[in-house]
């Protein structure tokens, strides 16, 4: 990390690798001899089509996406998917949702506009501090799909397994995609807002089993039909070209750093550094139950909101920024996405220990 840059623990949009940003700056005025910026390129031009196609190929390779599944580059974030998923998949019938956090809850409420929503697991009563075991998932009679959110940024919990279901599994992987290997074939659909581990905000990646497409409700906007977007290779209209280009740069960086396996090692190492401080602290209180802990977002607090605020302020003065918890929970949160250097976790741990010494 160069001297004038901070360690950015934001939950998203979030830190990107310096080398990726440097490359984007370098290619800004003239991409690869084209005489123009990627931001100026017609999405129908040969040169941009090349960027688009290569990015798809790289993502397919990084996540080992099988040929049964199609990768789509969409817009609107997870929030549009909350509606788009039931519009396309619920067929006016029912779907099962596991509500393990804020965004899964929003998804379930939005889906009620389009069919029957069965919330088959809800951790609200314990402050979303845990992930259910497979045995706790009691599916309904004939769900069209089962929906869950792999990693809960607000509460700092993460599914450690891919749930089995008697129907296609749909997963919001916004905040831990590309951080570990997943067996994509086990999913009907995976989607992710790009602004944590993939690219700047404004791109939504959907990976869908093609056999699920084509059952959308009659009033589904054309651009929200997965079938149409599969047929048009995400180019029914102008895609978010710059974000897709940035995803390509991120995937080059990912590959150079060991791919998703490399990222899985790094996330374990980074989060262990911070959890280790929490587990040996008499000041800091971790939020998530141990077995449900996220390796992407570490949530904790001190005994008072005043002390939390002092911690955030002191951290910022050392270049450790965005450690304030989500407004729903208060407290503190350290988001440790793919691009967070180990050094950032070490500096944070050091500061936590110093803060504890001077405040107990």
233 belongs to the binding site for a second copy (CB under 8 A) = no
CB-based burial of residue 287 (10 Å sphere; 0-12 exposed, 13-18 middle, 19+ buried)? buried
Q: Does 15 bind a second copy (CB under 8 A)?
A: yes
> Does residue 139 belong to the site contacting a second copy (CB under 8 A)?
no
84 binds a second copy (CB under 8 A): yes
Ranges within 142-161 binding a second copy (CB under 8 A): none
Rg, C-alpha atoms of the chain: 21
Least spacing, CB of residue 154 vs a second copy, in Å? 12
| 325 touching a second copy, by CB under 8 A | no
134 touches 164 (CB < 8 A): yes
Place of tokens 């919330």: 119
Interatomic CA distance for residues 77 and 72, integer angstroms: 13
Which of 322, 333, 334, 347 forms a contact with a second copy (CB under 8 A)? 322
Binding of a second copy by 240 (CB under 8 A): yes
Q: Which is nearer to a second copy, 29 or 303 (CB)?
A: 29
Q: Which stretch binds a second copy (CB under 8 A): 89-97, 242-250, 283-291, 344-352?
A: 242-250
List 65, 307, 309, 321, residue binding a second copy (CB under 8 A): 321
For the bound state, the minimum distance from the C-beta of residue 17 to a second copy, rounded and expressed in Å, comes to 10
Examine residue 14 and tell whether it contacts a second copy (CB under 8 A): yes
Asked if 215 interacts with a second copy (CB under 8 A), we say no
- Whether 223 and 96 have beta carbons less than 8 Å apart is answered as no
Q: How many residues touch a second copy (CB under 8 A)?
A: 69
Q: Rank residues 7 and 311 by Cβ distance to a second copy and give the closer one.
A: 7
The residue from 120, 207, 213, 224 that contacts a second copy (CB under 8 A) is 224
Short-list 235, 244, 205, CA closest to 69:
205
- Close Cβ partners of 236 (under 8 Å, ≥ 6 residues apart): 222, 223, 228, 229
CA terminus-to-terminus distance, the chain:
32
Binding flag, residue 5, a second copy (CB under 8 A): yes
Task: Establish if 241 lies at the interface with a second copy (CB under 8 A).
Answer: yes
Instruction: Assess 39 for contact with a second copy (CB under 8 A).
Output: yes
Q: Does 237 bind a second copy (CB under 8 A)?
A: yes
Give 266 or 320: the residue with its C-beta nearer to a second copy: 320
278 Cβ contact list (under 8 Å, min separation 6):
284, 285, 286, 298, 300, 352
What is the residue whose two structure tokens read 């019938």?
Answer: 93
Q: Does 328 bind a second copy (CB under 8 A)?
A: no
- How many angstroms separate the CA atoms of 123 and 78, rounded? 21
Only segment of 12-20, 121-129, 264-272, 304-312 that touches a second copy (CB under 8 A):
12-20
Instruction: Measure CA 206 to chain center.
Output: 12
CA 173 to chain centre: 5
Query: HSE (CB half, 13 Å, CA atoms) of 334?
Result: 35
CA of 319: how far to CAs of 7, 218, 312, 344, in Å? 6, 52, 11, 10
Residue pair 145/167 in contact (Cβ under 8 Å)? The answer is yes
Can you give the binding site for a second copy, defined by CB under 8 A?
Answer: 2, 4-6, 8, 10-16, 18, 21-22, 24-26, 28-30, 34-37, 39-43, 45, 75-80, 82-84, 87, 110, 113-114, 193, 195, 200-203, 217-219, 221-224, 236-243, 246, 319, 321-322
């Amino acid at each position: 990390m160069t001297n004038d840059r901070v360690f950015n623990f934001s939950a998203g949009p979030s830190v990107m690798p310096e080398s990726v940003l440097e490359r984007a700056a370098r290619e800004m005025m003239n991409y690869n001899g084209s005489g123009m910026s990627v931001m100026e390129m017609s999405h129908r031009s040969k040169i941009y089509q090349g960027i688009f196609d290569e990015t798809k190929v790289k993502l397919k390779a990084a996540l080992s996406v099988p040929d049964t599944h199609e990768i789509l580059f969409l817009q609107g974030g997870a929030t549009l998917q909350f509606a788009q998923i039931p519009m396309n998949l619920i067929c006016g019938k029912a779907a099962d949702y596991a509500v393990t956090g804020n965004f899964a809850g929003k998804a379930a409420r939005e889906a009620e506009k389009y069919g029957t929503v069965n919330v088959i697991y809800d951790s609200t009563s314990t402050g979303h501090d845990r992930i259910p075991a497979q045995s706790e998932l009691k599916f309904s009679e004939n769900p069209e799909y089962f929906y869950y959110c792999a990693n809960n940024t607000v509460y700092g919990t993460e599914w450690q397994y891919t749930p089995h279901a008697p129907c296609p599994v749909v997963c919001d992987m916004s905040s831990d995609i590309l951080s570990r290997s997943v067996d994509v074939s086990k999913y009907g659909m995976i989607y992710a807002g790009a602004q944590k581990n993939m690219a700047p905000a404004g791109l939504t990646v959907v990976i869908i089993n093609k056999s699920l497409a084509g059952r959308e409700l009659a009033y589904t906007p054309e651009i929200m039909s997965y079938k149409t977007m599969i047929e048009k290779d995400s180019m029914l209209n102008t895609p978010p070209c710059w974000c897709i280009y940035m995803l390509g740069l991120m995937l080059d960086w990912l590959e150079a750093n060991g791919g998703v396996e490399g990222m899985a090692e790094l996330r374990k190492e980074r989060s262990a550094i911070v959890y280790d401080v929490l587990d040996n602290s008499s000041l800091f209180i971790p939020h998530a139950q141990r077995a449900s802990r996220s390796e992407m977002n570490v949530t904790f607090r001190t005994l008072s909101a005043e002390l939390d605020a002092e911690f955030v302020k002191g951290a910022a003065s050392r270049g450790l920024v965005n450690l304030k918890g989500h407004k729903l929970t208060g407290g503190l949160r350290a988001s440790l996405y793919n691009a967070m250097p180990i050094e950032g976790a070490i500096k944070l741990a050091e500061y936590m220990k110093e803060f504890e010494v001077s405040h107990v």
